[in-house]
Amino acid sequence: MAQHSKPSSSSPTHTPVLLEEVIRFLAPVDGGIYVDGTLGLGGHAEKILQSCSPAGRVIGFEWDAHALELARKRLAPFGERFSALHRNYSEIMAGLTEIGIHKVDGLLLDLGVSSLQFDSGERGFSYQADGPLDMRMDKRKHLTAEEIINDFSKEDLADIFYYYGEERQARRIAAHIVAERDRDRITTTSHLARIIAGAVPRKFQPKKIHAATKVFQALRIAVNKELDNLTALLDTITEILKPGGRVCIIAFHSLEDRLVKWKFKENPELQVLTKKPVIPGADEIRMNPRARSAKLRAASMKG
């Protein structure tokens, strides 16, 4: 998910994280077939296509219809070497079967929320931009953050905040949300952020992040079933990759990273290529502050 070499002033852009490191571990070759399971705006896919020319292919999977449309336009110059499906990465096996591909040489997942999504208030991903409490990556799905906040029990809310956001004040925040929604339905990101900030005493609020950060992360994970989708993908990696094929996964929070680490380690058919996660250098973080929490893990298929 990168900036186009010559974006128009009105084109949304997103800088791909750990781009050179991804290419180093994925090691694309001419004629290879690669899957970008989180296509986004196509920045990583573009670099992979450039690295496996003239005959290599990339199949992109993206469940955000708007991002998919933009990526298709961006990568159109690559012609038949690029194709894309409006599917979540948990459905890669089914998608590849649909287009007649059995196994591939490489797979990439970048699990971060793109700037296109995060900066759009109407998508409801961020407390920094007021908008409806939506948070759906795929508008075809029905469950929204608003429904969770207003309809789930206090106990269920606390569990979501604690297990998906690792929020220590989960029960206190859940209680304040339930009390507020009894007075007035909570429908906007700014309203929810105010409730969270008011629920947690200042001495217990995190020093480096907004008080609402972990709750918003937890809601996004719950709405989009992110950990379920990641588990489904990790359980089918060896059915997707050819012998010697490689997988690169970029995680942005500890829940994802621990899951990837454990699944890589426990799979006897995978050879882990990263003893420790690869993280961005100081220069990349300075250029793209949102990269600071990125962790890349890579593995190859034995055989």
Q: What is the domain partition of the chain in residue ranges?
A: 19-116+227-301, 120-225
Task: Give yes or no for residue 217 having a pLDDT over 60.
Answer: yes
> What is the average pLDDT across 193-213?
87
Report percent pLDDT > 70 for the chain. 92
Q: CA geometry: angle at 257 spanning 213 and 214, to 5°?
A: 10
Task: Give yes or no for residue 208 having a pLDDT over 60.
Answer: yes
Q: How many CB atoms lie within 10 A of CB 89?
A: 23
| pLDDT score recorded for residue 113 | 79
Q: CA geometry: angle at 80 spanning 78 and 86, to 5°?
A: 95
Query: Does the structural domain 120-225 have CATH classification 3.40.190.10?
Result: no
Fold adopted by 19-116+227-301? Rossmann fold (3.40.50)
| pLDDT score recorded for residue 215 | 97
The bridge status of strand 270-272 relative to strand 295-301 is: antiparallel
Picking from 66, 74, 17, the residue whose alpha carbon sits closest to that of residue 50 is 74
| pLDDT score recorded for residue 182 | 96
Task: Give yes or no for residue 36 having a pLDDT over 80.
Answer: yes
pTM: 0.91
The highest-confidence range among 5-9, 87-91, 112-116, 289-293, by mean pLDDT, is 87-91
Task: Give yes or no for residue 5 having a pLDDT over 60.
Answer: no
| pLDDT score recorded for residue 116 | 61
Task: Give yes or no for residue 29 having a pLDDT over 50.
Answer: yes
Task: Give yes or no for residue 148 having a pLDDT over 90.
Answer: yes
Q: How far is CA 194 from CA 112, 177, 213, 228, in A?
A: 25, 10, 12, 30
